[in-house]
A and B are shown apart, each in its own frame.
Chain A
Amino acid sequence: MLGPVLETLIGGLLTGVLYALVALGFVLIFKASGVFNFAQGAMVLFAALSVARLSEMMPLVVAVALSVVIMIVLAYAIEFLVLRRLVNQEGIILFMATLGIAYFLEGFGETVWGSNIYKINLGIPKEPMFFFESVFPGGLLIDREEVAAAVGCAVLVAALAIFFQVTRVGRALRAVADDHQAAQSVGIPLNTIWLIVWAVSGIVAIAAGMVWGSKLGVQFSISLVALKALPVLILGGLTSIPGAIVGGLIIGAGEKLAEVLLGPLLVRWFDLAGGGIENWFAYMLALVFLLFRPQGLFGERIIERI
């Protein structure tokens, strides 16, 4: 029994890494600019499309590097054409603007890259491997590619953490997140900071798009992953980077475990069909959090000014 449950847990955690990456993109932009970026999912789709299509023409590494450039250009366009014009507008107006960006990106992605299902081949053998054979009878069966993806994402997150914690620009980003007017008063240019967070979110979107695309192929439904990021945000708190990561893992693991463990019980006790738990579990969990802990798991410590 333990073996399969652990396998489910690990599979769930790996999906959770993906949710965490998308949520991370949200949190970065929300913290720095107060914009709730509905277009995060569309950015993941767009990034995945460019990696997939470019890698048909060139080695993967080059395709990824080029995609990074594309996402930076995109960030620049969004900052210059949209955010800069709407500065000081209400949050809801900015949110509407990101809705527009989301639909534009979905359509524009199709215009540029096409609308079929494309493959991203990370070059890692897909065959599952047995781990911990000495610990469990039979060991654990885990997809090698997923392990590689999880490790890659962990490295990315660690790099981001270092960037935020110790660099001059990272410090400025945190300052803007704390009090953007005060940040402006000491000479930190908000436009530049916004450009940087959108670009970083774009890069995070590339990582998410690659993981997702290599697993399930690149297609329109990727942009819907943003909807899964919403419960993650509620769980982790809108402004917490660790919250996005832990929240993503909890939801990823939770929904898979619920499907495997709760499903059979519902069938046995209530004679339900028992499927589809994976689809609603995250939202139920988010609802419970909204009722009992609205600031989320790691909702920013609110420091009262003395």
Chain B
Amino acid sequence: MPAAADTDRNTGEAAVTPPPAGVTDSTVPAPILRVNNIEVVYSHVILVLKGVSLSVPKGGIVALLGANGAGKTTTLKAISNLLHAERGEVTKGSILFEGEEVHSRSPSDLVTRGCIQVMEGRRCFAHLTVEENLLTGAFTRKDGKAAVAADLDLVYSYFPRIKERRKALAGYTSGGEQQMTAVGRALMSRPKMILLDEPSMGLAPQIVEEIFEIVKNLNGKEGVSFLLAEQNTNMALKYASYGYILENGRVVMDGEAKSLRENEDVKEFYLGVAEGKRKSFRDVKHYKRRKRWLA
């Protein structure tokens, strides 16, 4: 079994806050986001995140991987402070955005500071038109109508597809168009960082590819950093430079995207390219659990 997986499991559980993996590498620029050993509890009793640490370098794309229920969405909502509505709260650890503790800030304050989430399932406003959806993203801005209009054009230049649909009610557009609208809506807030939750969910492969290409473009041209939660490990590791793998509310492995892609365990469990006979998801869970027990 790989050493990386074990050491990380240990750091995740350590009582003292460890420097999050990924920032120790001196070639990585200063992090825009740093999550230190956070614990999240839902409804006061359900412990879901059991010490998650991660960091996103300024201008980077970092993937947060893991199966359904691993805790990806919870991690993103903890960062953007959207847990409240789900009766969840961060009970331990710290979250630093641009070096400042953001734990007690409201979501709208965070958006103003440049950190915005694109929620799982797109969550467009169904009864608003595509363009109205985009404009809601500019709610926190105070720089005037002209600047907002200019950014609307910018969004349309990245997503020409939704420009054609600008007058349509978002609820009547396709899944791909809704995902583009959701990302465009986030862009309208002029973010420094986007927390993107499962953009590939329920979309055809070529649409997924199109959206990831746009993410790459936005990252390159607009300098937006991304924390990308995905179950589509293959696709996410193609575009991200670094990845964390969550399991059961813990980071079990992390590393450069390239090394994760080549890691035998990742291949076996997440990329579905195991040597020999393929294991079903249930087997994998079982196997992992036993492995941890033995370890």
Q: Residues of A at under 8 Å CB distance from B?
A: 87-88, 168, 171-172, 174-175, 177-189, 300-301, 303-306
Contact = CB atoms under 8 A, between A and B. Distances in A.
B289 interface: no
Given A88-B84, A174-B127, A303 B171 contact: yes
Contacts of A186: 111, 116, 136-137, 139, 185-186, 189
Contact of A175 (B106, B112, B136): B136
Given A174-B127, A175-B128, A186-B137, A303 B82 contact: no
A221 B80 CA distance: 48
B108 A179 contact: no
Contacts of B118: 185
A188 B139 contact: yes
B174 A306 contact: yes
A304 B169 CA distance: 12
A189 B128 contact: no
B229 to A, nearest CB: 14
B126 A185 contact: no
B139 A187 contact: yes
Contacts of A303: 126-127, 169, 171-172
A182 B182 CA distance: 10
Interface of B: 80, 82, 84-85, 87, 106-108, 110-112, 116-119, 121, 123-128, 132-133, 135-137, 139-140, 169, 171-175, 178, 185-186, 189
B128 A178 contact: yes
B174 A183 contact: no
A304 B172 CA distance: 8
9 nearest A-B pairs in the assembled complex, by CB-CB distance: A187-B111, A303-B171, A182-B123, A187-B140, A178-B125, A187-B108, A303-B126, A189-B108, A175-B136
Contacts of B173: 306
A183 B172 CA distance: 19
Contacts of B123: 179, 181-182, 185
A88 B87 contact: yes
Nearest to B87: A88
Contacts of A168: 135, 139
Nearest to A169: B139
Nearest to B121: A305
B80 A183 contact: no
Contacts of B108: 184, 187-189
A181 B136 contact: no
A178 B139 contact: no
A184 B186 contact: no
Which of A172, A187, A305 neighbours the largest number of chain B CB atoms within 10 Å of its CB?
A187
B126 A305 contact: yes
Contact of A185 (B82, B128, B133, B172): B82
Nearest to B185: A186
Contacts of B126: 178-179, 303, 305
A235 B185 CA distance: 35
B189 A174 contact: no
B139 A182 contact: no
A184 B83 CA distance: 11
B135 to A, nearest CB: 6
A168 B149 CA distance: 13
